[in-house]
Amino acid sequence: MNDLPTLDWPTAVVFAPLAGAILAFAWPRRAAGIGLASVLLTTAAVAALALRVLAEGAVVTRLGNWGAPLGIDLRADGLSTLLLAMTAGVGLFVSLGALDSYAPARADERTRRYFWPLWLLLLTGLNGAFLSTDVFNLYVMLEVIALAAVGLTVLGGGREAVRAGLEYMYASILGALLFLMGVGFVYLELGRLDFAGLIAAEPAPALTAALALMIAGLLLKTALFPLHFWLPGAHANATAPASALLSGLVVKVSLYIFLRLTQYMPLPDELLVTLMGTLGAGAILWGGIQALRAERLKLLVAWSTVVQIGLIFVAFARAGQVGLAESWKAAALLILAHAVAKAAMFLSAGRIKDEVGHDRIQDLDRSPIRPTLAQFTFALAAISLIGLPPSLGFAGKWVLMEGAMAAGYWHWVGITMIGTLLSVAYFSRVLAGFLRFDRLRTPVAEHQGWALADTAPLVLALAALSLGLVAAPILAFMEIGYPFGATP
Amino acid sequence: MNSGLIFGLTGIAVFAIGLFGALVMVEPLRRVLALKLCSVGAGFLLVVGAWQAPPDMPDPVPHALVITGIVVMISATAVALALIRRLHSLERASDE
Amino acid sequence: MTDPLLIFDVILGLAIVALAVAVLAMHDRFAMIVLFIVFGLLSALAWVRLSAPDVALAEAAIGTGLTGALLLTTLHHIRATPPAPVPVPAGAIIANLGLCGLIFGGLVVAFLSTPLQAPGLALPVAQNMEASGVAHPVTAVLLNFRAYDTLMEVVVLLAAIVAVWMVERGTAQAPSPVMGEIYRGFARLALPAIVIIGTYLLWVGAYAPGGAFQGGAVLAAVGLLLLLSRLYRPQPAHRPLARLGFVLGTAVFAGIALLVASGGRVPFEYPAAHAKTLILLIEGMVTISIAVTLAALFHGREPEYASVSENHK
C-alpha cells in the first residue's frame, strides 16, 4: 500500500514466536525469560495487526511477492485476527500461570526448560494456521501444532500422560494424513491450492472427496464425538498450563479450518449438515454423562471440552436458516468463549490440585485446605461454560438459540437446553464440594487464597465473564474483510 | 491406460490399506507403519497429479510438496517412536 | 497395451499393494520392517517411473532408509517384551474392512473423474524460473516460490527433536549402540544405498544446486553409521553444539526471509542479484541442520550426565 518500511504484521505474528522458540531451545537457562518476552512481542504484533485490520480491512502479505497460487499469501481478516487475538490473550495469561506452575519449587528443571520451546513452537503453528490461505500450508501448520502439542501433553512424563500422548499422536497423525490426502485431490482437480482457487471452483466429484477427507481429518483432530476417544486422557493427564493450551487453543485450530473450508467448499448436502449437528448433539449428551461420572476434577474438565465442541458443531449446523452461511458467527463466538473460559478452568483446576494435593472430586469437601481464589476462579469459568449472563458463553449460546429459533429448529434448541442443564449438574458436583465444610474432620487450615499465581486464571475467568458485554463489537469485528463469499 | 492411472490407483489402494491398519491394528510399531503407508499413498496421489506423459516435463510443485511431506512424516514418526520407547521403559519399570 | 513399460508398471503397482498388505499382515516384527523397506524402495522406483527423481530420492533416503533405521532401533529397544496378543473382535475388523473398502471405492471414482495430466502450476513456475535464482524447478519451488512451507517443514523437524529430547529421559536404558545382527543387516542394506545416492546427488548437483533434503539425509546416514559403530558417542558436553546444529537451518532461513524485507520488498523476496547466493546459503545451513537433526532423532535421547554411567557398564 505504501513503501514506508512499516513492519509486516502478519509475518511478525508468525516469526516472533518462532524466534522465541529458537532462542529458548538454544539457551535453556534463559528459556522462561526469552519465552515470556517472545509471547509479549507476539501479543504486541497481534494488537498492531488488529488495529490495522480495524482501520483498513483485511491485510494480505504476498510472501516472496509471487502471489497465490504460485506463492503463498498470508491473510488477516476479521475472523483470523479475532482468533489470533484469542490465542495471544489466552497464551499470555497461560504463560504467566506457567511461570508459577513450573517454578523451581514445583517442577523439575527439564519440564521448565522444555515447556517454553514447545509452547512457542505451538504458538508459531497456531498463528500460522490462522493466517494461512493455502491448504498444503495448512497441512504443514497442523503438523507443527501436532508435534508441539504432543510434546506438551507428555511434559509431566508420567506413564498415563505418555500413554495418552501416544494415542493423541496416532489420532493427530491420522487426522493430518487424511487432510493431506484431501489436499492431493484438490490439486488433482484444480491444479492449485490457495483459497481463491477453492472459492472459484465448480463442484466436482474430486472436490467432494477432498472435502470429505479433509473434514474427516479435522473432526478427528478436533475430537468431535465419536472421534473424541483420545481427548479426555490427553487433556486430563497433562500438566495444568499444557492442558489449558491444549483444551483452550489447540482443538480450536481444526474447528477454524473446518469453518473456512465449509464456507469455501459448501457441503454438498443438507443431510451432511444435519449429521454434523447430530454428532454435536451426541457429544453434548455423551460428554455430559461422562462428566457427571468423572472421578477426577481434571477429567471432568476435559469431558466438558468434548461437550463444548459438540455445542460448537450444533451451532455450525443449526444457528442459521440456510446451511452454514449464517451460523458461523455463533460458532466463532462459542469458540472464543470456550477458549478463554476453559483455559481459566484448567489453570484453576491445576491450582486446586497443587494446593489440595489431589483432584478427587468426592474428597474435595474433606480437604482442610481451601484454595479460595482458585475455587472462585473455577466457579466464574463454569458460569461462562454453562452459559449464564453476562458471560461470553451466554452471548454465544444466545446467538445460537436466536438463529435456531428464527429458523424453526425447535428440537435443536431443546438439545442446547439439555446440554446446559447437564453442565449445571456436573459443575455443581465440584462447586458443592468447594462450599461444603460439614464433612471436614479437622479445622480449616490456614487461608490459602490470594496467591499471586491465581491472578492469571482469575483474569481469564473475568474476561470470559465480561467479554459477553462487548459481544456486539466482537461480532462486528468478525465480519471485517468479508471472511466468506468474496475472493481475497 | 497410462502410468499415471496405474500408480494413482496404486496410491489410493495403499492409502486405504494404511487407513485400515491405523484403525484396526493394536501393536504400536504396526500402527506407526500403517500411518506411514497412508502418507506414501498420499504421496503417490500428488506425484500422479504432477505427472505428464513423457516427453512433457512434470509439474514441479507437487514434487516439492511430497518432499516436504516426507520430511514432515519422518519427524512425526520419530516422535511416535520415542513415545513408544518411553512408554515401554515406564511399563517395564513399573512391572519390576 | 503393447508398451512393455506399462506392463512393468502394472506389475510394480500390484507388487507395491501386495507389499503394503504384507507389511501389516506379517507376524514377525523384524520381517515386517524389512518388508516395509522393500515397499518403500519399490514406491521410490514407481516415482522414478512417474518422472519424479527428486521425490524418489527423498523417499528412498528419508522415508525408507532413515525411517527403517528408526523402526529397527525402536524394535531393538522394545523387543524384550513380545507383543501381547490383543484379540481384535472380528466384527470390528469386518466393519473397518467395509469402511475402508467404501472409502477406496469412493476415492477411485473421484480420482477417475479428475483431469489427469492437467498443467497445474507448471506454467507459472516455468515463467518465473528466470527470476527464481536457481535452475532446477523443484528447488525453485522449495526454496523460493513456496519457501514459507519449506521453512515450516524445517520447523516441524525442530519440533520433533525438541519433543524427542523431552520425551526420552529418566532411568530408562539408552539403546545399545552396537546392534549386532540388526546393525549388520541394516548396514548391508544401507551402505550401497548411501554410495549410490551420494553419487547421484553429486552428479545432479552439476546442473541443479538442489537436494538439501536428500543431501542432508545422506549426511545423516553417515552420522548413523558413526553412532552405530561407536566412532562417535554423544556426550552431555556436546549438547549446546547439538542444539545450535538443530536450530541453525531454521534460524538462518527465517533470518534471511526477514532481512531481505526492506526497501519495498516483502519477506522471502530475495533481491534478484543475490537470489542464487542466498538460496545456496539457506540450502547449506538447512542441509547441516537436517543431517544433525535426523541423526539425533535416530539416537533418540538427550545425552545427560545422569545416564552416562549407565552407558559404561
Q: Structural domain boundaries of chain C?
A: 121-311
Map out the domains of chain B as residue ranges. Answer: 3-95
Domain count of the fold of chain A = 1
Among residues of chain C, what percentage have pLDDT more than 90? 47
Percent of the residues in chain A that have a pLDDT greater than 70, as a whole number: 94
**Residue C182 at interface with chain A, using a CB cutoff of 8 Å:** no
pLDDT of residue C313: 30
Residue in C with minimal Cα distance to A206: C110
pLDDT in tens, B42-93: 999 999 999 988 888 899 999 999 999 999 999 999 999 999 999 998 988 8
Task: Give the minimum alpha-carbon distance from B40 to chain A in angstroms, rounded to a whole number.
Answer: 10
Residue A187 with chain B: CB contacts under 8 Å: 46, 49, 61-62, 65
Considering all CA atoms of chain A, what is the largest pairwise distance in Å, rounded to the nearest integer?
A: 72
Q: Provide the terminal-to-terminal Cα distance of chain B, rounded to the nearest Å.
A: 60
What Rg, from alpha-carbon coordinates, does chain A have? Answer: 22
Instruction: State the pLDDT confidence band at A139, using cuts at 50, 70 and 90.
Output: very high
Give me Rg for the CA atoms of chain B: 17
Nearest to A169 among B15, B83, B91 (CB): B83
CA angle A89, A94, A97 (to 5 degrees): 135
pLDDT digits (tens, 9 = 90+) for C100-119: 999 999 999 999 999 888 88
Q: Does C145 touch chain A (CB under 8 A)?
A: yes
How buried is residue A295: exposed, middle or buried, by Cβ count under 10 Å (0-12/13-18/19+)?
Answer: exposed
Residue A129 has pLDDT above 90, yes or no: yes
- Summarize the confidence of residues A19-40 as an average pLDDT: 95
Residue with cell 526497501: C263
For C3, name the nearest residue in chain B, comparing CA atoms only. B2
Residues 6+ apart with CB under 8 A from A257: A129, A138, A142, A214, A218
3-class DSSP assignment, residue B74: helix
Ranked by mean pLDDT, the top range of A399-408, C100-109, C285-294 is: C100-109
A1 pLDDT exceeds 60?
no
Residue keyed to cell 463466538: A333
Alpha helices (runs of H) in A319-371, residue ranges in sequence order: 328-356
Query: What's the gap in Å between the CA of A201 and the closest CA on chain B?
Result: 17
Give the mean pLDDT of A350-376: 86
How confident is residue A447, by pLDDT bands cut at 50, 70 and 90?
low
pLDDT value of residue A434? 85
Local confidence band at C184 (pLDDT 50, 70, 90 cut-offs): low
CA distance A6 to A189: 39
C113 contacts: CB under 8 Å, gap ≥ 6: A204, A205, A206
Question: Among partner residues B20, B44, B58, which is closest to C100 by beta-carbon distance?
Answer: B20
Report the pLDDT value the prediction gives residue C5, as an integer from 0 to 100: 87
Q: With respect to residue A101, please indicate whether it lies within any of the assigned structural domains.
A: no
b/e sequence B31-48, b meaning 16+ C-beta within 10 Å = bbbbbbbbbbbbbbbbbb
- Give the pLDDT confidence score for residue C209 in this predicted structure: 42
Which residues of chain C does B79 touch, with a Cβ-Cβ cutoff of 8 Å? 160, 163-164, 167
Res C310 pLDDT > 50: no
Ramachandran angles phi, psi of A75, nearest 5°: -140, 125
Strand partners, A132: A74
Contacts (Cβ under 8 Å, ≥6 apart) of A410? A404
The torsion angle over the Cα atoms of residues A379, A380, A383 and A384, rounded to 10 degrees, is -140
Poorest-pLDDT segment among A367-371, A416-420, A449-453, C117-121:
A449-453
Tally the C-alpha atoms within 13 A of residue C187's C-alpha that lie toward its C-beta: 15
Which pLDDT tens digit goes with each residue over C124-153?
Answer: 999 998 888 888 888 889 989 999 999 999
Question: What residue in B sits closest to A151 (Cα-Cα)?
Answer: B79
The verdict on a CB contact (< 8 Å) between B80 and A154 is no
Instruction: Tell me which chain A residues have a C-beta less than 8 angstroms from the C-beta of C158.
Output: 21-22, 25, 121
β-bridge partners, C138: none
Contact status, residue B12 vs residue C108, Cβ threshold 8 Å: yes
What cell numbers appear for B51 in the block? 505427472
A170 touches chain B (CB under 8 A): yes
Domain boundaries, position A322? 271-478
Helix A9-26 to helix A31-56 angle (10° resolution) is 180
pLDDT at position B45 is 96
CB A431 within 8 A of CB A304: no
Contact B52, C117 (CB under 8 A): yes
- Look up residue A75 and give its DSSP letter: E
Q: Are C134 and A57 in contact (CB under 8 A)?
A: no
| CA pair distance A42, A58, nearest whole angstrom | 19
Distances (CA, A) of A116 to A98, A172, A270, A303, C247: 9, 21, 44, 27, 15
Q: How far apart are the first and last CA of chain C?
A: 64
Asked if residue B38 lies in contact with residue A174, where contact means CB atoms within 8 angstroms, the answer is yes
- Residue A320, pLDDT > 80, answer no
Looking at the predicted structure, is the pLDDT value of residue C88 above 60? Answer: yes
pLDDT of residue A39: 97
Shortest CA distance to C153 belongs to which of C208, C76, C212, C201?
A: C212
Q: At what angle do helices C4-25 and B3-24 cross, to 10 degrees?
A: 0
Q: How confident is the model at residue A355 (pLDDT cuts 50, 70, 90)?
A: confident
pLDDT band at A446; cut points 50, 70, 90: low
Closest CA to C88 of B24, A327, A431, A472: B24
The CB density around residue C94, as the number of other CB atoms within 10 Å, is 10
Rounded average pLDDT over A48-59? 93
CB spacing of B35 vs A177 below 8 angstroms: yes
Measured between beta carbons, which residues in chain B are less than 8 angstroms from residue C163? 79, 82
Quick check: is A232 in a domain? no
Q: Which of A63, A123, A193 is most worth mutating to test chain C (most C CB atoms within 10 A of its CB)?
A: A63
Mean pLDDT of B30-50: 96
Average pLDDT over residues C288-303: 88
Measure in Å the smallest separation between the Cα of C232 and chain A Cα atoms: 22
Architecture of the domain delimited by B3-95 = Orthogonal Bundle (1.10)
B80 touches chain C (CB under 8 A): no
pLDDT of residue A482: 72
- Cα C182 to the chain's mean position, in Å? 21
Residue C311 has pLDDT above 50, yes or no: no
The predicted complex's ipTM stands at: 0.97
> Domain for residue A139, yes or no?
no
Cβ burial A92-125 (10 Å sphere, 16+ → b, else e): bbbbbbbbbbbeeeebeebbbbbbbbbbbbbbbb
Give the Cα separation of C52 and C44 in Å (integer): 9
Judged by CB atoms closer than 8 Å, whether chains meet at B50 and C77 is answered as: no
Q: Give the burial class of C195: count Cβ atoms within 10 A of its Cβ; 0-12 exposed, 13-18 middle, 19 or more buried.
A: exposed
Q: Which residue from C147, C149, C262 is facing A136, i.e. has the nearest CB?
A: C149
pLDDT at A252 over 70: yes
Q: Number of residue pairs across B and C with CB atoms under 8 Å?
A: 267
pLDDT interval class at C190 (50, 70, 90): low
| A424: pLDDT strictly greater than 90 | yes
In the DSSP assignment, the letter for residue C302 is: P
Q: With beta carbons less than 8 A apart as the criterion, state whether A24 and A31 touch.
A: yes
Q: CA distances (Å), C293 to each of A31, A118, B81, in order?
A: 21, 16, 15
Domain-embedded: residue A299: yes
Give the per-residue pLDDT at B87: 93
> Which of A367-381, B19-33, C24-38, C88-102 bottoms out in mean pLDDT, i.e. has the lowest?
A367-381
Q: Which are the contacts of C22, defined by CB distance < 8 A and separation ≥ 6?
A: C35
CA distance C153 to A321: 41
Lowest mean pLDDT among A118-127, A128-137, B64-73, C269-278: C269-278
Q: Considering chain A, what is the average pLDDT of its residues?
A: 90
Say whether residue C264 is in contact with chain A using an 8 A CB cutoff: yes
Would residue A131 count as lying in a domain? no
The pLDDT of residue A263 is above 60: yes
Residues of B in contact with A150 (CB under 8 A): 79, 83
